[in-house]
């Protein structure tokens, strides 16, 4: 039996405006298993990012509850690398540790290990403007991994990159996450990206978001995201989820 690290029960999110209440998320329930790569897909503005904000306590929920261990540490990786241009790569990588005041020697050594492992150590004294988009994204991931999260929330982390970098960086980030054995919830509106990376995909409806379907992604030869795109079952999943999304052009 899989070990569950998070359970979301009947989560509802409403926003209050002067024009009335807006129902963004309408009753969502799901579990997150330890070590899995869970991807949430849905059309733009359906409430995917709101869900991640709620999970990381940046926003409050209206109804329902989230069951998790108090000691569960959550790391959040955003749509852009959000590196601070006035800090060096090293200073950016330890930013979370500094803010949380946990910049112990042990944690700093871990950041240095990650920088070395992912070929960024030689650039540690350089500034973000000297790095490529992909390298910056790797630094952003290391900044998130530095606080040793049990659960990683990825909010469309590749959306600011061009198509080719996107493929390469998603491959890169996937390998790092698997190597560091992290549990992930990623949201994206890119179906191919979702299928190529996910163990499980949750398809959300348009606003107000509800769960339309959940897919266990069982490819014939699961490998890295780029290779997974060539898998025989890839297009089958693509067609099924595309129909679920009910895209009107």
Partner 1 sequence: MSTSKEQIAYQRKYIRERLFVLASQLIIVSIMLFSWEYASNSGHLNKFIFSCPSEIIKTIIQMINNGDLYKHLFTTLNEIFLSFSLGLVMAFALAIIMYLNKIFMKIIDPFLTILNSLPKVAIGPMLIIWFGANAKSIVIMGILINLIVSTLTIYDGFQKIDDVKIKLFKSFRASKWQLMTKLIIPGATNSIISALKLNISMTLIGVIMGEFLVSKSGIGYLIIYGTQVFNLNLVLAGIVILLIISFILYIVVIFIEKIINR
Question: Residue numbers of the site for partner 1 (CB under 8 A)?
Answer: 56, 58, 76, 78-80, 82, 84, 86, 95-96, 98-100, 147
Nearest alpha-carbon partner for 23 in 15, 35, 34, 31: 15
Q: Smallest distance from the beta carbon of 74 to partner 1, in angstroms? A: 8
Closer of 25 and 140 to partner 1 (Cβ): 140
Q: How far apart, in whole angstroms, are the C-alpha atoms of residue 178 and residue 195? A: 16
Task: Decide if 249 contacts 49 (C-beta within 8 A).
Answer: no
Q: Smallest distance from the beta carbon of 157 to partner 1, in angstroms? A: 11
Length of the chain: 249
Closer of 46 and 95 to partner 1 (Cβ): 95
- DSSP character for 3? P
Q: Smallest distance from the beta carbon of 82 to partner 1, in angstroms? A: 5
Q: How far apart, in whole angstroms, are the C-alpha atoms of residue 182 and residue 166? A: 21
| Structure tokens given for 35 | 């070590």
Q: Which residues, other chains included, contact 171 with Cβ-Cβ below 8 Å and sequence gap of 6+? A: 224, 225, 226
Q: Smallest distance from the beta carbon of 146 to partner 1, in angstroms? A: 10
Closer of 78 and 108 to partner 1 (Cβ): 78
Closer of 125 and 246 to partner 1 (Cβ): 125
């Amino acid at each position: 039996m899989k070990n569950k690290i998070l359970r979301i029960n009947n989560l509802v999110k409403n926003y209050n405006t002067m024009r009335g209440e807006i129902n963004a998320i309408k009753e969502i329930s799901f579990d997150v298993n330890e070590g899995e790569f869970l991807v949430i897909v849905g059309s733009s503005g359906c409430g995917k990012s709101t869900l991640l904000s709620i999970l990381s306590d940046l926003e409050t929920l209206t109804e329902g509850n989230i069951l998790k261990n108090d000691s569960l540490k959550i790391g959040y990786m955003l749509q852009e690398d959000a590196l601070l241009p006035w800090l060096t790569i090293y200073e950016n990588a330890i930013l979370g540790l500094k803010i949380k005041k946990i910049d112990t020697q042990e944690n700093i050594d871990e950041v240095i290990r990650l920088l070395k492992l992912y070929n960024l150590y030689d650039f540690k004294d350089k500034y973000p403007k000297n790095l490529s988009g992909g390298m910056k994204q790797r630094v952003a991931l290391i900044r998130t991994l530095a606080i040793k999260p049990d659960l990683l929330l990825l909010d469309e982390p590749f959306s600011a990159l061009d198509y080719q970098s996107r493929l390469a960086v998603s491959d890169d980030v996937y390998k790092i996450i698997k190597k560091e054995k992290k549990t992930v919830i990623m949201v994206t509106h890119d179906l191919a990206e979702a299928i190529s990376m996910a163990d499980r995909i949750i398809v959300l409806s348009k606003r107000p978001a509800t769960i339309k379907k959940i897919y266990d992604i069982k490819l014939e030869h699961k490998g890295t995201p780029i290779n997974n795109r060539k898998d025989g079952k890839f297009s089958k999943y693509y067609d099924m989820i595309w129909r679920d999304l009910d895209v009107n052009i």
